[in-house]
């Protein structure tokens, strides 16, 4: 085996394909394959047929405050990767929920950097225990989506170090194989060109020996990128690195030593993740774990004794998310789940007895893009009985014989060049989607159509809706927005019609086509049926929340409020029957004012594929809701220390709140949250006693004084120079059981960054052991010199 040549080393600095690196076989350097995450193994083809396990979102895992559970979920995702031949996963997402409007907030563990760092490191340890590599993302300050490709975050050094870099420091110490540089700028420099962060801090001060790669298409230059310390440009083929790196070295713009360092980091990572893999769980064990994890993240925010609700009474299950739950967000990391997953309504009917349960959606479950429930237009021999027949043509008008045909049971299609070979997407061509739709009701039906090019949708030959052309530079934005045009046609119940969508596209790196149909059921009729069902029931279980396209890439939310029609549904159901428990299937901090009159409120987040079984078990009391809030829920949107995410002049977004984001800012400003960070309850009671400073940290005795098994989360805070979580631990106890809970407190957690280094905030430290961030708790005083000397 020989050393790689300079040409081979420069080639290694760019990917070989969409999801793979280059290999240099003669030097013993293998290629490695990647997949997006973090909720599972995303299909590189963005194909609904590539089914994988779907774990709870990071916010739900954050709500668990359970490092052991999070590590086991990481191992589950690693097992999925191993089974699919994936060597490294772009996960976990270690950005922070700085604002509740952040479009990808569901991918974040929460708003606190220590909490995110500890849980992120646990997830990394679990994933990498299977032989799969973790590529932590997005380095750094990619905490929102609006104009993320041009956004320039302005943040002071103390805030950068103590808040936004801290989770990545935990990831580095956990030995993640790689880190993914974000799209945005920080203090004027692209993250892929951020020498201060990549070279000085990550590789220098932290001594990180892994590789740093770009987010997909996130590079902008050759020499500035390499000289800043970025090692690998993705995806391939090369755009700015690779062969251009060879030219830069030859011109003297990049030192050969820098390329050699990048190549060595890539080679080391490749060898590490292409070794032997292990499967951590059987199918049955995976299923049980996903149900356990979903329940562990449910946060019971309010309960007047209504829950748990024992079976044996007449129950109304109401709400769009009971039948069409939001399992996950709508990013490119979306996991393809089994179409046979049960809904919460089905699981509740199974647990409580179908004869005791009625269901009403109340409002439209897919207000933005409804489904397209069709049968294929023709049999192409693949055995599929639902979905559109998709034909791919080299021509731009669908003429001639199709190059390929397939049946796709989805209403949203995405094709990346180099991943999908059905059509000539890099040269231009056309796609035809066709199916047979049989209306269930007579009346006006509204059809939806969106595309990254010119498209038209016909019903029995008549054009109902069309879209215009999209410029090549705007294709990704059009795809990410998911916006659709609509048109209406009157149909007769039981009479089939032929639906045809023709799509013409110009060359681009990605294309998409999406469509749907909405029937004539009126808004008022649906609300009235829900209201009647609530009135007639002994108890109501009301499911409200989001759809998967509520949380997307490149778009933040306009507010934290529930959709107006859902807010009306809540008000009318509560007026009809106040014996109502509300389940909020929402992936971020939300306005919870509408739940004030409910008997109970559970924040369920995006709980993954175990949602249905877990929520039925929790509502019935078979399991406890084990979570506590990983984010603050403010009383008013104006109370959040950071809220508006629209950049100002020059694309700059100042992090003006500094270190006082989330609960830190709320407490510092004297503004109590509606539901504080760390708050929540279960189905039992706990007593705390004998708090003391001991063993380099603190300890407290916790006793379960209730008649059910349950879990408690002990949290430790300092209040100088602002309220800050410095440690936590979760303990599970049987009725009457007592345990001493110890929490190590490394000295670093009582330091702030200033004048070029870490400085203790004092030699004597005031602490409080608390149930949540606003709890005055059990005060203690510790000496700085007596704390654990561990680095983090």
- Residue 689 burial (C-beta neighbours within 10 Å; 0-12, 13-18, 19+): exposed
Run of H or E including 756: none
Q: Using alpha carbons, select from 143, 226, 140, 222 the residue that is nearest to residue 186.
A: 140
C-alpha pair distances (Å), 715 with each of 497, 627, 727, 729, 744: 60, 13, 6, 7, 12
Answer yes or no: are the C-beta atoms of 616 and 346 closer than 8 Å: no
Residue owning tokens 């409200």: 544
For 298-361, the DSSP string reads -EEEEESS--S--SSS-EEEESHHHHS---S--STT--B--TTPPPHHHHHHHHH-GGGEEEE-
Residue 632: beta bridge partners?
none
Q: At what angle do helices 611-620 and 344-352 cross, to 10 degrees?
A: 40
Structure tokens at 426: 């890099």
* Pairing outcome for strands 375-376 and 429-437: antiparallel
Residue owning tokens 């390329």: 259
Q: Using alpha carbons, select from 434, 455, 450 the residue that is nearest to residue 506.
A: 455
Spell out the residues 6+ positions from residue 12 whose beta carbon is closer than 8 angstroms to its own: 4, 21, 22, 24, 29, 232, 262, 263, 266, 267
Q: Report the C-alpha gap between 103 and 122 in whole angstroms.
A: 24
Longest dimension (CA), the chain: 81
Q: Using alpha carbons, select from 351, 352, 294 the residue that is nearest to residue 327.
A: 294
Residue 386: beta bridge partners?
none
Looking at 215, 246, 364, 591, which residue is catalytic?
A: 215
Answer yes or no: are the C-beta atoms of 441 and 520 closer than 8 Å: yes
215 is catalytic: yes
C-alpha pair distances (Å), 430 with each of 375, 392, 419, 453: 21, 6, 17, 10
Q: Report the C-alpha gap between 300 and 344 in whole angstroms.
A: 17
Q: Report the C-alpha gap between 638 and 649 in whole angstroms.
A: 22
Question: Phi/psi of residue 116, each to 5°?
Answer: -65, -40
Structure tokens at 395: 């021509």
Q: Using alpha carbons, select from 11, 109, 9 the residue that is nearest to residue 55.
A: 109
Structure tokens at 124: 């990394």
C-alpha pair distances (Å), 172 with each of 165, 177, 323, 376: 10, 9, 41, 50
CA dihedral of residues 667, 726, 776, 305 (deg, nearest 10): 90
Q: Using alpha carbons, select from 711, 612, 551 the residue that is nearest to residue 64.
A: 711
- Buried b / exposed e over 622-656, threshold 16 CB at 10 Å, is ebbbbbbbbbbbbeebebbbbbebebeeeeebebe
Three-class secondary structure assignment of 587-633: CCCCCCHHHCCCCEEEECCCCHHHHHHHHHHHHHCCCCCCCCCCCCE
Q: Is the bond into 587 cis (omega within 30 degrees of 0)?
A: no
Structure tokens at 700: 């407290």
Please tell me whether residue 555 adopts helix, strand or coil conformation. strand
For 694-746, the DSSP string reads ETTEEEEEEEE-SSS-EEEEEEEEE-SSS-EEEEEEEEEE-TT-EEEEEEE-B
Q: Which residues are catalytic?
A: 215
């Amino acid at each position: 085996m020989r050393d790689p040549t300079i040409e081979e080393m420069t080639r290694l600095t760019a990917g070989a394909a969409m999801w793979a690196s280059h290999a240099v076989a003669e030097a013993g350097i293998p290629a490695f394959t990647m997949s997006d995450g973090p909720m599972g193994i995303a299909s590189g083809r963005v194909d609904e047929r590539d089914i994988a396990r779907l774990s709870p979102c990071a916010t739900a895992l954050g709500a668990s405050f359970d490092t052991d559970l999070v590590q086991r979920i990481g191992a589950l995702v690693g097992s999925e990767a191993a089974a699919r031949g994936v060597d490294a996963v772009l996960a976990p997402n270690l950005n922070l929920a700085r604002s509740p409007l952040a479009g990808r907030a569901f991918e974040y563990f929460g708003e606190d950097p220590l909490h995110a760092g500890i849980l992120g490191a646990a997830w990394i340890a679990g994933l990498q225990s299977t032989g799969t590599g973790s590529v932590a993302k997005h380095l750094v300050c990619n905490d929102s989506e609006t104009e993320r490709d041009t956004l320039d975050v302005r943040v002071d050094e103390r805030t950068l170090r103590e808040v936004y870099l801290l989770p990545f420091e935990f990831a580095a110490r956990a030995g993640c194989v790689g880190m993914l540089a974000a799209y945005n700028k920080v203090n004027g420099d692209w993250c892929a060109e951020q020498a201060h962060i990549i070279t000085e801090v990550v590789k220098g001060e932290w001594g990180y020996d892994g590789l740093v790669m770009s987010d997909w298409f996130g590079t902008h230059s050759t020499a500035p990128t390499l000289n800043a310390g970025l090692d690998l440009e993705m995806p391939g083929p090369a755009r700015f690195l690779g062969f251009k790196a060879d030219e830069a070295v030859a011109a003297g713009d990049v030192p050969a030593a820098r390329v050699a360092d990048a190549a060595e980091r890539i080679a080391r990572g490749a060898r590490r993740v292409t070794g032997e893999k292990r499967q951590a769980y059987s199918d049955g064990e995976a299923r049980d774990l996903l149900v356990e994890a979903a329940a562990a993240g449910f946060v019971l925010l309010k309960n007047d004794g209504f829950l748990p609700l024992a079976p044996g009474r007449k129950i109304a299950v109401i709400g769009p998310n009971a039948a069409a739950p939001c399992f996950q967000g709508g990013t490119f990391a979306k996991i393809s789940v089994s179409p046979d997953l049960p809904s919460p309504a089905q699981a509740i009917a199974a647990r409580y007895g179908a004869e005791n349960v009625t269901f009403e959606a109340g409002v439209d479950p897919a207000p933005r893009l409804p489904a397209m429930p069709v049968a294929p237009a023709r049999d192409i021999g693949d055995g599929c009985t639902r979905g559109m027949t998709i034909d791919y043509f080299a021509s731009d008008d669908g003429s001639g014989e199709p190059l390929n045909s397939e049946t796709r049971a989805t209403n949203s299609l995405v094709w990346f060049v180099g991943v999908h070979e059905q059509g000539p997407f890099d040269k231009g061509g056309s796609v035809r989607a066709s199916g047979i739709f049989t209306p269930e009701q007579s009346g006006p039906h509204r059809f939806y159509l969106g595309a990254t090019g010119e498209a038209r949708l016909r019903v029995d030959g008549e054009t109902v809706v069309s879209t215009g052309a999209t410029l090549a530079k705007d294709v990704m934005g059009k795809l990410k927005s998911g916006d659709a045009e609509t048109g209406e046609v009157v149909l007769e119940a039981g009479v089939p019609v032929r639906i045809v969508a023709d799509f013409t596209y110009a060359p681009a790196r990605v294309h998409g086509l999406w469509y749907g149909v909405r029937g004539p059921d009126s808004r008022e009729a649906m609300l009235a049926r829900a209201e009647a069902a609530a009135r007639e029931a002994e108890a109501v279980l009301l499911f409200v929340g989001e759809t998967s396209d509520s949380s997307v890439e490149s778009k933040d939310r306009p507010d934290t409020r529930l959709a107006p029609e859902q807010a009306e549904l809540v008000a009318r159901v509560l007026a009809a029957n106040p014996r109502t428990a509300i389940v909020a299937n929402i992936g971020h901090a939300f306005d919870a004012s509408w739940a004030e009159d409910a008997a109970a409120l559970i924040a369920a987040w995006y709980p993954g594929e175990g949602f249905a079984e877990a929520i039925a078990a929790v509502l019935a009391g078979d399991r406890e809701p084990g979570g506590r809030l990983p984010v603050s829920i403010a009383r008013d949107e104006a109370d959040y220390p950071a809220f508006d995410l629209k950049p100002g002049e020059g694309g700059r977004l100042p992090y003006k709140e500094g270190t006082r984001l989330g609960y830190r800012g709320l407490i510092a400003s004297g503004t109590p949250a509606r539901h504080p960070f760390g708050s929540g309850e279960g189905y039992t009671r706990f007593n705390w006693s004998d708090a003391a400073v001991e063993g380099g940290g603190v300890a407290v005795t916790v006793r379960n004084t209730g008649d059910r098994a349950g879990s408690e989360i002990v949290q430790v805070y300092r209040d100088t120079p602002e309220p800050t979580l410095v440690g936590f631990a979760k303990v599970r106890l049987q009725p009457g059981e007592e345990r001493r809970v110890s929490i190590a407190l490394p000295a670093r957690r009582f330091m702030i960054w200033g004048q070029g280094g870490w400085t203790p905030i004092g030699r004597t430290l005031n602490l409080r052991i608390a149930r949540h961030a606003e709890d005055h708790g059990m005060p203690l005083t510790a000496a700085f010199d007596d704390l654990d000397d561990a680095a983090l």
